[in-house]
Amino acid sequence: MLFYRDIQLLGLSAIKSGNFKFLMRQIHGFIATQCLDINHEENVNINIYKSENRLSRLGVYFPHWSKYSCGDTIRLVGQSNDLKKLENEKWIMNGLAAEVIHFSPETPLQFNEKESNKAVCFKRTRMHERLSDATVQRKLRRFEKRLKDSAATSKPTAENYREFLVNKKMAQINSDIVHGIETKPSNQKDQNDKKRSRNIVLYVQSLAVNEFINEQTRWNSYGLAKENSLQGISLQ
């Protein structure tokens, strides 16, 4: 039997390529996010932020989840399962499936290793991170340097810094869309594929807009909109 419970982990993230890379970052102010704690066999406690290769040897597999999925999805498989087969299985866009469940404290789960083609999925919700004062100042200093390098004459203010974050995020999302989804079908006569691709793009952009609104709301709550220069910005 395996037991699952919520634990707190600082700085859980995934790298751009889609392969999971877990970072333990001791930065004050980050909101701890949910992750999975695995008790495998007896007296063996393997946390989710340990080596991906080490976890795969214990039967825990992290799929290449899409950047435009809703929430982070992980999959737990038995040691006797064929990981190559599971890697090729298709994941639903919104991260939901018949066997997806939400984390709950001390949720027991009977695991049958004989069912080699069956895996248990878990949906983990993303949480926004809260930046510390030092992190914000570092970001602003880097932004000021970029402005100088581009021969910009205006000083970085809270308003154009937010605009800079929005533009940077949109560029990243557009890049993920281009590399992750075939928005232009090879067969131009296939209107269904073209329409489906377009709907996916619109869905991703709608998620991005909501994220940008939350980003601006957080900056406004710290009073950044009232400041006119880099030196005057404060989170307190």
Residue 195 has a pLDDT of 57
Residue 137 has a pLDDT of 67
Tell me the domain boundaries of the chain: 2-124, 133-232
Residue 194 has a pLDDT of 55
Residue 142 has a pLDDT of 72
Cα separation, 65 vs 137, whole angstroms = 32
Q: How far is CA 79 from its chain centroid? A: 27
Lookup result for tokens 């895996």? 119
Mean pLDDT, contiguous 10-residue spans, the chain (236 residues): 25 31 26 29 32 42 36 38 40 29 33 39 36 63 66 53 61 52 47 56 56 57 45 39
Residue 138 has a pLDDT of 73
